[in-house]
Chain A
C-alpha cells in the first residue's frame, strides 16, 4: 500500500484555524487531492496540488512538499458546517489512493 497517514480526529473552535497533516509514499506519486466528506455523504473535491508550495482557495489552503511526501490542508475561520471528514488522496498513475480521513469536529 501507499501508507497514507493522517490524524484520526481533530477538534477546533469556531472561528479558529486548523491544519490537517498527511504523509504518503513518494514512489510513483503524481499529485495530491483533498476531499471533504460529511457523514453519510459522498466526498466532494476541495483541492489538488502537483507542485510544491501553498495553493490558496478562499478559507481553505493546501500545501505540498513532494520531496518529503507531505501535505497539509489549512482551514481558516472555521464554521460549524466544516465539521466533516477530510480525506487525503495522493494520486499514483491515474488512480487515487484515499487515506482513512481525519474527522474534524468544530465546536462553538
Chain B
C-alpha cells in the first residue's frame, strides 16, 4: 500500500544532543511537509519542500533544519534540542501545491522526548 512512513515512532534524546527524524513516502508526491504538534495543540507547519525547493516558515527556529535527498525521503534535523522541543513531529505529503485542494497525507508521527 502506498503510504507515508516515519521512523522511529518514539525518539528519546538528551538536551542539546542533535537528533534526526526521518520520513519516507511511496506515494511519489512532489510536496513533503514537517509539522510540530504539542499536546492538545494544532499541528504547526515548520517547513515544506516542493520537489527540491525548500520553503521555511518565518517563525521556525534556526535550530530546525531539513534535508530532502530525493523524492522519497525527507529528514528533520534538530541541532540542539531543548525541553520545549518535545512534541509529536508529523510528516505529510501531497501532490502539486499551488492550485489548492491538495489533500495532505500524514505519517504516523515521531514522538520526541528530550531529557
Contacts and interface: CB of A to CB of B under 8 A. Distances in A.
B98 interface: yes
Contact of A43 (B44, B99, B101, B106): B106
B70 interface: no
A98 B101 contact: no
Given A31-B100, A96-B45, A42 B40 contact: no
Contact of B102 (A40, A41, A44, A94): A94
Contact of B45 (A45, A95, A100): A95
Contacts, number: 53
Contact size range, B: 20 to 34
B90 A48 contact: no
Contact of A30 (B100, B106, B111): B100
A31 B88 CA distance: 26
Contacts of A33: 103-104
B106 A99 contact: no
A94 B43 contact: no
Majority secondary structure of chain A interface residues (helix, strand, loop or mixed): loop
Nearest to B91: A42
B26 to A, nearest CB: 16
A43 B90 contact: yes
Given A98-B42, A101-B42, A42 B100 contact: no
Given A41-B108, A43-B106, 10 more contacts: A4-B42, A42-B109, A45-B104, A45-B105, A48-B101, A94-B99, A94-B102, A97-B45, A98-B42, A101-B40
A-B pairs, 10 with minimum CB distance: A42-B106, A94-B97, A98-B42, A30-B100, A100-B42, A98-B43, A94-B98, A45-B103, A42-B108, A43-B106
